[in-house]
Structure 1
Amino acid sequence: MNPRTTLVVAIAAVSALALAGCSTSDGPDKTSASGKTAESGRTAAANAKPELSVTGGYMPAPVTKDMGGGFLTVTNKGGADKLTSVTTDISDEATLHETVDQKMKKADSFDIPANGTLELGRGGNHVMFVGLKKLPKEGDKVAVELHFEKSAPIEVELDVESATHNPKSH
Protein backbone atom coordinates (compact mmCIF):
# COMPACT_ATOMS: atom_id res chain seq x y z
CA MET A 1 0.00 0.00 0.00
CA ASN A 2 1.21 3.48 -0.68
CA PRO A 3 1.60 5.91 2.26
CA ARG A 4 -1.40 8.02 1.22
CA THR A 5 -3.78 4.97 1.19
CA THR A 6 -2.44 3.84 4.56
CA LEU A 7 -3.13 7.31 6.01
CA VAL A 8 -6.73 7.35 4.65
CA VAL A 9 -7.41 3.85 6.08
CA ALA A 10 -5.96 4.87 9.46
CA ILE A 11 -8.06 8.06 9.61
CA ALA A 12 -11.22 6.11 8.66
CA ALA A 13 -10.55 3.52 11.38
CA VAL A 14 -9.96 6.16 14.07
CA SER A 15 -13.10 8.06 12.99
CA ALA A 16 -15.20 4.88 13.15
CA LEU A 17 -13.97 4.11 16.67
CA ALA A 18 -14.65 7.69 17.81
CA LEU A 19 -18.19 7.61 16.40
CA ALA A 20 -18.91 4.25 18.04
CA GLY A 21 -18.25 5.85 21.43
CA CYS A 22 -20.86 8.56 20.71
CA SER A 23 -23.84 6.24 20.78
CA THR A 24 -27.25 7.79 21.50
CA SER A 25 -28.74 4.60 22.94
CA ASP A 26 -30.59 4.66 26.24
CA GLY A 27 -28.65 1.64 27.40
CA PRO A 28 -27.48 0.95 30.93
CA ASP A 29 -24.58 3.42 30.73
CA LYS A 30 -26.80 6.45 29.99
CA THR A 31 -26.32 8.89 32.89
CA SER A 32 -28.88 11.51 33.91
CA ALA A 33 -28.23 14.98 35.34
CA SER A 34 -28.56 13.47 38.85
CA GLY A 35 -25.66 11.12 38.11
CA LYS A 36 -27.85 8.00 38.17
CA THR A 37 -27.88 5.63 35.25
CA ALA A 38 -31.15 4.72 33.55
CA GLU A 39 -30.50 1.11 34.53
CA SER A 40 -30.07 1.95 38.23
CA GLY A 41 -33.36 3.93 38.11
CA ARG A 42 -35.21 0.92 36.68
CA THR A 43 -33.60 -1.38 39.24
CA ALA A 44 -34.58 0.92 42.11
CA ALA A 45 -38.22 0.99 40.92
CA ALA A 46 -38.28 -2.79 40.57
CA ASN A 47 -36.80 -3.25 44.06
CA ALA A 48 -39.04 -0.68 45.79
CA LYS A 49 -41.56 -2.04 48.28
CA PRO A 50 -45.03 -2.52 46.76
CA GLU A 51 -47.84 -0.34 48.19
CA LEU A 52 -51.07 -2.15 47.31
CA SER A 53 -54.72 -1.23 47.72
CA VAL A 54 -57.84 -2.98 46.39
CA THR A 55 -61.01 -1.33 45.09
CA GLY A 56 -64.14 -2.15 43.11
CA GLY A 57 -64.42 -5.77 44.23
CA TYR A 58 -67.59 -7.58 43.20
CA MET A 59 -69.00 -10.98 42.34
CA PRO A 60 -71.93 -11.35 39.97
CA ALA A 61 -74.57 -13.48 41.69
CA PRO A 62 -73.85 -17.03 40.48
CA VAL A 63 -76.70 -18.97 38.92
CA THR A 64 -75.49 -22.40 40.12
CA LYS A 65 -73.17 -23.72 42.83
CA ASP A 66 -70.78 -24.98 40.16
CA MET A 67 -68.81 -21.75 39.81
CA GLY A 68 -68.69 -17.98 40.11
CA GLY A 69 -66.34 -15.15 39.18
CA GLY A 70 -64.68 -12.40 41.17
CA PHE A 71 -63.49 -9.05 39.88
CA LEU A 72 -61.48 -6.21 41.43
CA THR A 73 -58.70 -3.70 40.87
CA VAL A 74 -55.34 -3.75 42.65
CA THR A 75 -53.57 -0.38 42.62
CA ASN A 76 -49.86 -0.24 43.33
CA LYS A 77 -48.06 2.97 44.36
CA GLY A 78 -44.71 1.24 44.87
CA GLY A 79 -42.51 -1.48 43.40
CA ALA A 80 -43.73 -4.39 41.30
CA ASP A 81 -45.45 -7.40 42.85
CA LYS A 82 -47.53 -10.40 41.76
CA LEU A 83 -50.95 -11.69 42.77
CA THR A 84 -50.19 -15.37 43.35
CA SER A 85 -53.41 -16.83 44.78
CA VAL A 86 -56.79 -16.21 46.38
CA THR A 87 -58.38 -18.06 49.30
CA THR A 88 -61.97 -18.00 50.52
CA ASP A 89 -64.41 -20.02 52.61
CA ILE A 90 -67.20 -19.75 50.03
CA SER A 91 -65.83 -22.38 47.65
CA ASP A 92 -63.78 -25.55 47.51
CA GLU A 93 -61.31 -23.86 45.17
CA ALA A 94 -60.46 -20.29 44.16
CA THR A 95 -58.09 -19.89 41.22
CA LEU A 96 -56.72 -17.16 39.02
CA HIS A 97 -57.90 -17.29 35.41
CA GLU A 98 -56.84 -15.38 32.33
CA THR A 99 -58.77 -14.97 29.12
CA VAL A 100 -56.74 -15.47 25.95
CA ASP A 101 -58.44 -15.45 22.55
CA GLN A 102 -61.83 -15.59 24.32
CA LYS A 103 -60.84 -18.80 26.16
CA MET A 104 -60.31 -19.08 29.90
CA LYS A 105 -57.30 -20.84 31.32
CA LYS A 106 -55.80 -21.14 34.77
CA ALA A 107 -52.99 -18.67 35.54
CA ASP A 108 -50.19 -19.10 38.07
CA SER A 109 -50.07 -15.39 38.90
CA PHE A 110 -50.80 -11.90 37.65
CA ASP A 111 -48.17 -9.16 37.49
CA ILE A 112 -48.86 -5.94 39.34
CA PRO A 113 -46.58 -3.35 37.75
CA ALA A 114 -44.68 -0.76 39.78
CA ASN A 115 -46.84 2.35 40.09
CA GLY A 116 -49.57 0.64 38.07
CA THR A 117 -52.75 -1.40 38.33
CA LEU A 118 -54.00 -4.92 37.87
CA GLU A 119 -57.59 -5.05 36.71
CA LEU A 120 -59.61 -8.23 37.03
CA GLY A 121 -62.81 -7.71 35.06
CA ARG A 122 -65.50 -9.32 32.94
CA GLY A 123 -64.16 -10.76 29.70
CA GLY A 124 -60.59 -10.66 31.01
CA ASN A 125 -58.51 -11.86 33.91
CA HIS A 126 -60.52 -12.85 36.98
CA VAL A 127 -60.84 -15.02 40.08
CA MET A 128 -62.77 -18.26 39.53
CA PHE A 129 -64.64 -19.83 42.46
CA VAL A 130 -65.27 -23.53 41.84
CA GLY A 131 -67.64 -25.65 43.95
CA LEU A 132 -69.51 -22.96 45.85
CA LYS A 133 -70.54 -24.14 49.33
CA LYS A 134 -73.56 -21.82 49.30
CA LEU A 135 -75.16 -19.71 46.63
CA PRO A 136 -74.54 -16.03 47.47
CA LYS A 137 -77.38 -13.68 46.58
CA GLU A 138 -77.38 -10.08 45.43
CA GLY A 139 -76.60 -7.84 48.41
CA ASP A 140 -74.40 -10.43 50.18
CA LYS A 141 -70.67 -9.99 50.70
CA VAL A 142 -68.05 -12.65 49.97
CA ALA A 143 -64.79 -12.56 51.94
CA VAL A 144 -61.59 -13.38 50.04
CA GLU A 145 -57.92 -13.12 50.89
CA LEU A 146 -55.47 -12.08 48.19
CA HIS A 147 -51.92 -13.47 48.40
CA PHE A 148 -48.91 -11.79 46.82
CA GLU A 149 -45.32 -12.62 46.04
CA LYS A 150 -43.87 -9.77 48.15
CA SER A 151 -46.71 -8.10 50.06
CA ALA A 152 -48.68 -9.34 53.04
CA PRO A 153 -52.10 -10.84 52.25
CA ILE A 154 -55.03 -8.43 51.87
CA GLU A 155 -58.54 -9.35 53.00
CA VAL A 156 -61.31 -8.03 50.76
CA GLU A 157 -65.08 -8.28 50.71
CA LEU A 158 -66.64 -8.67 47.27
CA ASP A 159 -70.13 -7.19 46.95
CA VAL A 160 -72.49 -9.69 45.35
CA GLU A 161 -74.18 -7.84 42.48
CA SER A 162 -76.83 -8.86 39.95
CA ALA A 163 -75.77 -11.65 37.59
CA THR A 164 -75.61 -9.13 34.72
CA HIS A 165 -73.71 -6.41 36.64
CA ASN A 166 -70.94 -4.80 34.62
CA PRO A 167 -69.48 -1.56 36.04
CA LYS A 168 -67.95 -0.60 32.69
CA SER A 169 -71.43 -0.34 31.14
CA HIS A 170 -72.55 2.30 33.70
Structure 2
Amino acid sequence: MKRLAVTGAAIAGALALAGCGTSNASKASDSAGASRAELSVGASYMPQPVSADMAAGFLTITNRGGTKDELTSVTSDSAGEITMHETKGGAMEEVDSFEVPAHGQLVFKSGGNHLMFEKLKRRPEQGDTITLKLKFAESGPLTVEMPVKSATYNPSTGH
Protein backbone atom coordinates (compact mmCIF):
# COMPACT_ATOMS: atom_id res chain seq x y z
CA MET A 1 0.00 0.00 0.00
CA LYS A 2 2.90 2.34 0.82
CA ARG A 3 4.44 1.70 -2.63
CA LEU A 4 1.08 2.65 -4.24
CA ALA A 5 1.04 5.95 -2.32
CA VAL A 6 4.62 6.73 -3.37
CA THR A 7 3.80 5.87 -6.99
CA GLY A 8 0.71 8.10 -6.85
CA ALA A 9 2.78 10.95 -5.43
CA ALA A 10 5.36 10.49 -8.20
CA ILE A 11 2.66 10.56 -10.87
CA ALA A 12 1.09 13.67 -9.34
CA GLY A 13 4.52 15.33 -9.27
CA ALA A 14 5.11 14.43 -12.92
CA LEU A 15 1.72 15.87 -13.86
CA ALA A 16 2.54 19.09 -12.01
CA LEU A 17 5.79 19.32 -13.97
CA ALA A 18 3.90 18.77 -17.22
CA GLY A 19 3.14 22.50 -17.16
CA CYS A 20 6.60 22.82 -18.78
CA GLY A 21 7.79 25.34 -16.26
CA THR A 22 5.50 28.12 -17.36
CA SER A 23 5.97 31.27 -15.36
CA ASN A 24 2.28 32.15 -15.41
CA ALA A 25 1.29 30.02 -12.42
CA SER A 26 -1.27 31.49 -10.04
CA LYS A 27 -2.35 30.06 -6.71
CA ALA A 28 -5.32 30.22 -4.39
CA SER A 29 -4.96 28.32 -1.17
CA ASP A 30 -6.25 28.38 2.35
CA SER A 31 -4.38 27.95 5.61
CA ALA A 32 -6.79 25.13 6.50
CA GLY A 33 -4.70 22.97 4.14
CA ALA A 34 -5.82 19.74 2.55
CA SER A 35 -9.42 19.99 3.78
CA ARG A 36 -10.08 22.71 1.16
CA ALA A 37 -9.41 23.10 -2.54
CA GLU A 38 -5.87 24.34 -3.22
CA LEU A 39 -5.83 25.61 -6.80
CA SER A 40 -3.04 26.66 -9.14
CA VAL A 41 -2.98 27.37 -12.86
CA GLY A 42 -0.23 26.58 -15.33
CA ALA A 43 0.51 25.80 -18.97
CA SER A 44 -1.85 28.52 -20.20
CA TYR A 45 -1.69 29.74 -23.79
CA MET A 46 -3.74 31.09 -26.66
CA PRO A 47 -2.76 30.21 -30.22
CA GLN A 48 -2.69 33.39 -32.30
CA PRO A 49 -6.22 33.48 -33.72
CA VAL A 50 -6.89 33.43 -37.44
CA SER A 51 -10.20 35.21 -36.86
CA ALA A 52 -10.36 38.85 -35.76
CA ASP A 53 -13.23 38.26 -33.33
CA MET A 54 -12.78 34.75 -31.88
CA ALA A 55 -9.95 32.75 -30.27
CA ALA A 56 -9.40 29.59 -28.23
CA GLY A 57 -7.54 29.31 -24.93
CA PHE A 58 -5.99 26.43 -23.04
CA LEU A 59 -4.67 25.91 -19.49
CA THR A 60 -4.42 23.41 -16.66
CA ILE A 61 -5.97 23.94 -13.23
CA THR A 62 -4.41 21.76 -10.54
CA ASN A 63 -6.11 21.10 -7.20
CA ARG A 64 -3.73 19.83 -4.53
CA GLY A 65 -6.40 20.13 -1.85
CA GLY A 66 -8.71 17.51 -0.40
CA THR A 67 -11.96 19.08 -1.62
CA LYS A 68 -13.22 19.48 -5.17
CA ASP A 69 -14.16 22.89 -6.53
CA GLU A 70 -15.91 24.10 -9.64
CA LEU A 71 -14.80 26.57 -12.30
CA THR A 72 -17.93 28.67 -12.83
CA SER A 73 -16.80 31.47 -15.17
CA VAL A 74 -13.89 33.07 -16.99
CA THR A 75 -13.68 36.78 -17.84
CA SER A 76 -11.18 39.06 -19.56
CA ASP A 77 -11.09 42.71 -20.61
CA SER A 78 -9.80 41.41 -23.98
CA ALA A 79 -13.07 39.71 -24.94
CA GLY A 80 -16.76 40.54 -24.75
CA GLU A 81 -17.48 36.98 -23.63
CA ILE A 82 -15.57 33.82 -22.73
CA THR A 83 -17.42 30.53 -22.88
CA MET A 84 -16.32 27.10 -21.68
CA HIS A 85 -16.66 24.07 -23.94
CA GLU A 86 -16.27 20.35 -23.42
CA THR A 87 -15.55 17.91 -26.19
CA LYS A 88 -17.09 14.45 -26.01
CA GLY A 89 -16.94 11.99 -28.87
CA GLY A 90 -15.67 14.70 -31.20
CA ALA A 91 -18.63 17.00 -30.48
CA MET A 92 -18.15 20.39 -28.83
CA GLU A 93 -20.74 21.62 -26.33
CA GLU A 94 -20.87 24.80 -24.23
CA VAL A 95 -21.08 24.17 -20.48
CA ASP A 96 -21.75 26.43 -17.49
CA SER A 97 -19.05 24.96 -15.24
CA PHE A 98 -16.31 22.35 -14.88
CA GLU A 99 -15.42 20.33 -11.79
CA VAL A 100 -11.85 20.62 -10.53
CA PRO A 101 -11.42 17.31 -8.66
CA ALA A 102 -9.72 17.01 -5.28
CA HIS A 103 -6.09 15.96 -5.78
CA GLY A 104 -6.61 16.24 -9.53
CA GLN A 105 -6.58 18.45 -12.59
CA LEU A 106 -8.92 20.15 -15.02
CA VAL A 107 -7.16 20.27 -18.38
CA PHE A 108 -8.13 22.51 -21.28
CA LYS A 109 -6.27 21.37 -24.42
CA SER A 110 -6.53 21.44 -28.18
CA GLY A 111 -9.09 18.83 -29.28
CA GLY A 112 -10.58 18.66 -25.78
CA ASN A 113 -12.08 21.00 -23.21
CA HIS A 114 -11.28 24.60 -24.12
CA LEU A 115 -12.14 28.26 -23.62
CA MET A 116 -13.63 30.32 -26.45
CA PHE A 117 -12.89 34.04 -26.46
CA GLU A 118 -15.69 35.74 -28.36
CA LYS A 119 -16.22 39.36 -29.41
CA LEU A 120 -12.49 40.13 -29.12
CA LYS A 121 -11.78 43.81 -28.56
CA ARG A 122 -8.71 43.46 -30.81
CA ARG A 123 -7.00 40.51 -32.48
CA PRO A 124 -4.25 39.14 -30.16
CA GLU A 125 -0.83 38.76 -31.79
CA GLN A 126 1.94 36.30 -30.94
CA GLY A 127 3.91 37.74 -28.01
CA ASP A 128 0.86 39.46 -26.43
CA THR A 129 -0.45 38.44 -23.02
CA ILE A 130 -4.14 38.13 -22.20
CA THR A 131 -5.22 38.59 -18.57
CA LEU A 132 -8.02 36.28 -17.39
CA LYS A 133 -9.99 36.03 -14.18
CA LEU A 134 -11.13 32.51 -13.26
CA LYS A 135 -14.03 32.30 -10.81
CA PHE A 136 -14.80 29.24 -8.70
CA ALA A 137 -17.77 28.06 -6.64
CA GLU A 138 -15.76 27.81 -3.40
CA SER A 139 -12.28 29.29 -3.81
CA GLY A 140 -11.42 32.91 -4.46
CA PRO A 141 -10.81 34.05 -8.05
CA LEU A 142 -7.48 33.47 -9.80
CA THR A 143 -5.88 35.93 -12.20
CA VAL A 144 -3.95 34.29 -15.02
CA GLU A 145 -1.59 35.80 -17.58
CA MET A 146 -2.13 33.82 -20.80
CA PRO A 147 0.61 34.25 -23.45
CA VAL A 148 -0.36 34.34 -27.12
CA LYS A 149 1.69 31.77 -29.02
CA SER A 150 2.06 31.04 -32.73
CA ALA A 151 -1.07 29.76 -34.50
CA THR A 152 0.59 26.34 -34.85
CA TYR A 153 1.89 26.09 -31.27
CA ASN A 154 1.28 22.67 -29.76
CA PRO A 155 2.79 21.98 -26.32
CA SER A 156 2.82 18.20 -26.95
CA THR A 157 5.51 18.76 -29.60
CA GLY A 158 7.74 20.52 -27.09
CA HIS A 159 8.26 24.14 -26.26
Q: Which TM-score band applies after superposition, normalised by the shorter structure?
A: 0.7 to 0.9
Aligned to 2:137: 149
Aligned to 1:36: none
The alpha carbon displacement at 1:169 in A equals: 2.0
Runs of 4+ in structure 1 over 2 Å off: none
Identity among equivalent positions (%) equals 49
Take 2:45 and 2:101, find their aligned partners in 1: how far apart are those partners? 22
Contact 2:87 2:112 in 1 (8 A): yes
Are 2:100 and 1:118 equivalent residues in the alignment? Answer: no
Greater gyration radius? 1
Summarize deviations over 1:135-162 as a string: whole Å, max 9, x none. Answer: 1100110000001010000000101000
* 2:145 partner SS: strand
Take 2:110 and 2:157, find their aligned partners in 1: how far apart are those partners? 11
Take 2:38 and 2:88, find their aligned partners in 1: how far apart are those partners? 28
The correspondence for 1:52, drawn from 35, 39, 51, is 39
Are 2:58 and 1:71 equivalent residues in the alignment? Answer: yes
The alpha carbon displacement at 1:64 in A equals: 1.4
The two structures have a TM-score, normalised by structure 1, of 0.71
Summarize deviations over 1:112-156 as a string: whole Å, max 9, x none. Answer: 110111111100001110111101100110000001010000000
Higher strand fraction: Structure 1 or Structure 2? 2
Structure 2's unaligned 5+ residue stretches are 1-33
The two structures have a TM-score, normalised by structure 2, of 0.75
Q: CA RMSD in A?
A: 1.2
The alpha carbon displacement at 1:102 in A equals: 1.4
The alpha carbon displacement at 1:108 in A equals: 1.1
The 5-angstrom pairing of residues 3-22 of structure 1 reads none
Structure 1's unaligned 5+ residue stretches are 1-46
* 2:83 partner SS: strand
Summarize deviations over 1:76-115 as a string: whole Å, max 9, x none. Answer: 1111001111000111110111112212110111111101
Contact 2:53 2:121 in 1 (8 A): no
Aligned to 2:119: 131
